[in-house]
Amino acid sequence: MSATMPMTSIARRRLLQGTALALAAVPLAACGGGGGTKSGSGDVTTLKILDYYADDPDNGIFAETLEAAAKKVGVTIERETVNGTSLIQKVLQMSSSRTLPDLLMLDNPDLQQIAATGALTPLGDLGFKADGFIDGFVGAGTYDGELYGMGPCANTLGLYYNKDLLDAAGVAVPTTWDELKAAAKTLTSGDTYGIAFCAKASYEGSWQFLPFFWSAGADETDIATPEAASALQLWVDLVREGSASESVLNWSETELGEQFTSAKAAMVIDGPWLTTTFDKSDVNWAVAEIPVPAAGDTAVAPLGGELWTIPQTGDQAKQAKAMELLQALLDDDTVLDLNTTRFTIPTKEAVDAAYIEALPQMESLVTAVNNGRSRTAQLGEAWPKTAEALYNAIQSALTGKEEPLAALETAKSDFLS
């Protein structure tokens, strides 16, 4: 997931699952990168990079940042960008033709399945240590006990609210589920709903559900528990009571942003990738952590963001130089600059104070990221099936086909048995 919304299309995930099987049949450790000696001898002057920051402003921001990092380590870069939905297919093609890049960016939920094929180099083998990086992002970059990826920028979800609407209604920013239900009911008036969230039949819907699921004490190793059902019941109640539109079943996160900026939703669950959009609107907005079941509970939100990895190209010299480039991309100054420019959240706690000083409105999201969890930390490459089960259960419960616990039990049986 990037500073845009999480890349969660069903077609892309199914392609990834098929790709993992196809990649496993390719001798990836012997695949060559963009030329150079395989023995690791000689000077490295050029590195190839592949990422999916194809659109501005991210394209331009990372072009400048990567060029600066390359200059620092004494190389030139040959950078290729593709649309995010095309990245995994591109990796497959490059592995088959033995042209894997020297530095490869992956959406963090995808790392597990690519690492499982042997395509990536453990960063520890190249001298990298993850000291100072937040635990959740280390978990996102880890497969089978080895760290394969790290990145400078994270994102997550928060409760964005229209300060003027809350003030006019005399509503305090909710911190618990009961307060959220009461606030959403009070704020619902005319064509304005109290809250909007994404409950689509997609990985985006599962991603939005996770803060409620995890904060209730539910666990992805068993989705059909009373704790999980209580989180789903909250969403059902918000829709049944009319505090949230039935259209949450279809709205994307971008569409949630549109509901918010048009004052059709007083509160929305969304992420920092919409900060620029909100700033350009007439909405007097702020963001808080997502409410928890009861006062004193800790909010646990999912971590989004990209991981930079070093493929197994067989060229030791280039792999070592790629590690130098990655280290430059991860130094404190670069992490701070990237996140303040992109309104994403630092993956290094040492940068937090300077970041919050520059962007005080993002403080609640910094807390959320530092307490956040990787979607794949427990289940690894099995996570997509669980995500699919969750969004099917959400759809079933919100459309009234089944009550929450029954919907979760059905989804568990249908998708995880």
Closest to 243 measured CA to CA, from 169, 140, 164, 350: 169
Q: DSSP label at 7?
A: -
Q: DSSP label at 117?
A: T
Give a yes or no: residue 215 inside a domain: yes
Partners of 285 in the β-ladder: 162
Closest to 300 measured CA to CA, from 367, 347, 248: 367
Q: Within this chain, do residues 322 and 234 fall inside the same structural domain, yes or no?
A: no
Q: Quote the strand ranges of 230-336, DSSP E.
A: 265-270, 285-288, 306-309
Q: For the chain, how big is the Rg over CA atoms in Å?
A: 22
Q: Within this chain, do residues 310 and 195 fall inside the same structural domain, yes or no?
A: no
Q: Within this chain, do residues 199 and 162 fall inside the same structural domain, yes or no?
A: yes
Distance CA 363, CA 359 (A): 8
Mean pLDDT by 10 residues, the chain (417 residues): 41 46 43 43 88 95 98 97 89 85 95 90 97 96 96 98 98 98 98 98 97 97 98 98 98 98 98 96 98 97 97 96 98 98 97 98 97 93 95 98 98 95
Q: Within this chain, do residues 270 and 409 fall inside the same structural domain, yes or no?
A: yes
What string of DSSP letters covers 312-333? --S-HHHHHHHHHHHHHHTSHH
Give a yes or no: residue 10 inside a domain: no
Distance CA 352, CA 357 (A): 8
Give a yes or no: residue 372 inside a domain: no
Q: Kind of pairing, strands 306-309 and 193-196?
A: unpaired
> Taking phi first (over 0 means left), then psi (-120 to 50 degrees means alpha), and beta for anything else, what does residue 339 get?
alpha
Give a yes or no: residue 291 inside a domain: yes
Q: In what order do the strands lie in the sheet with 149-150?
A: 76-81, 46-51, 103-107, 306-309, 149-150
What is residue 97's predicted lDDT score, i.e. its pLDDT?
A: 84
Show the tokens assigned to 76: 């030139």
Q: Within this chain, do residues 312 and 247 fall inside the same structural domain, yes or no?
A: no
Q: DSSP label at 299?
A: P
Find how far residue 201's CA is from the centre of its chain: 18
Distance CA 371, CA 374 (A): 10
Give a yes or no: residue 2 inside a domain: no
Q: Within this chain, do residues 257 and 200 fall inside the same structural domain, yes or no?
A: yes
Q: Within this chain, do residues 326 and 313 fall inside the same structural domain, yes or no?
A: yes
Domain CATH code at residue 383 = 3.40.190.10
Give a yes or no: residue 142 inside a domain: yes
Closest to 24 measured CA to CA, from 140, 107, 113: 113
Give a yes or no: residue 16 inside a domain: no
What is residue 42's predicted lDDT score, i.e. its pLDDT?
A: 62
Distance CA 44, CA 317 (A): 7
Q: Within this chain, do residues 164 and 212 fall inside the same structural domain, yes or no?
A: yes
Output helix, strand, coil percentages for the chain, rounded to the nearest 5.
Answer: 50, 15, 35
Domain limit, last residue, from 282, 317, 343: 343
Domain limit, last residue, from 343, 370, 391: 343
What is residue 301's predicted lDDT score, i.e. its pLDDT?
A: 95
Q: Within this chain, do residues 293 and 384 fall inside the same structural domain, yes or no?
A: yes
Sequence-distant (≥ 6) Cβ neighbours of residue 417 within 8 angstroms: none
Q: Within this chain, do residues 79 and 175 fall inside the same structural domain, yes or no?
A: no
Domain limit, last residue, from 319, 343, 367: 343
Give a yes or no: residue 190 inside a domain: yes
Alpha helices in 170-315 (DSSP H): 177-187, 203-215, 226-240, 253-261, 275-280
Q: Within this chain, do residues 173 and 211 fall inside the same structural domain, yes or no?
A: yes
- Residue 70: give the domain boundaries: 46-150+306-343
pTM given for the model: 0.90
Domain count, the chain: 2
Q: Within this chain, do residues 138 and 165 fall inside the same structural domain, yes or no?
A: no
Whose tokens are 């304005």? That residue is: 192
